[in-house]
């Protein structure tokens, strides 16, 4: 996996579509492979894991989620570097990468990390944060092979940015899972 990619709010790599359908495809794919996912969220405040558990049978693949809305929780619960948070703030690609990697371990079962860790951090508004404008979002995807972050530049109000983040992350995770044959 690469360390960082950039997206400008373009359609997710699986062609977009209804976020519920994207979540259903992801849960089905993970379940068929015997893989699991753990979620670390900041700006989305639980919307990612909620969208996943709306899918019947999600318990076969979804480990759970951590809402680390307060910046210090990103360090104390998910293991994000305290010096990184102090230097860069919470809205940074390396924070998204470390959140995704950290949640895999934080939600281990019987000593086994989740197959996939996914994360969200960014600025939904109404005000800029950490010197970043509203709509700047980083999503992270991690597996045993490594972790990467994708930078998104999203438009709309707070709710629209949060919903678009969920859709983008789930679509990109689905694409990543399918790409690992």
Q: What is the DSSP letter of 55?
A: S
pLDDT tier for residue 17 given thresholds of 50, 70 and 90? low
- Alpha carbon 102 to chain centroid, angstroms: 12
Angle at 143 between CA 14 and CA 153, to 5 degrees: 45
Whole-model pTM: value is 0.92
pLDDT tier for residue 95 given thresholds of 50, 70 and 90? very high
Q: For residues 24 and 156, what is the distance between their CA atoms, to the nearest angstrom?
A: 25
Determine the pLDDT at residue 144: 97
């Amino acid at each position: 996996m690469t360390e960082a990619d950039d997206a400008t709010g373009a359609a997710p790599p699986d062609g977009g579509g209804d976020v519920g359908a994207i979540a259903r495809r992801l849960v089905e794919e993970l379940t068929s492979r015997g893989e699991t996912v753990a979620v670390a969220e900041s700006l989305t405040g639980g919307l990612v894991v909620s969208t996943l558990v709306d899918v019947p049978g999600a318990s076969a693949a979804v480990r759970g989620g951590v809402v680390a809305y307060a910046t210090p929780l990103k360090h104390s619960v998910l293991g994000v570097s305290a010096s990184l948070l102090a230097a860069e703030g919470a809205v940074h690609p390396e924070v998204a990468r470390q959140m995704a990697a950290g949640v895999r371990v934080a939600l281990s079962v019987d000593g086994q990390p989740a197959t996939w860790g996914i994360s969200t951090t960014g600025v939904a508004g109404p005000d800029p944060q950490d010197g970043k404008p509203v709509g700047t979002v980083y999503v992270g995807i991690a597996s045993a092979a490594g972790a990467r972050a994708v930078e998104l530049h999203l438009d709309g109000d707070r709710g629209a940015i949060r919903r678009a983040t969920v859709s983008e992350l789930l679509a990109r995770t689905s694409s990543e899972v399918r790409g690992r044959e």
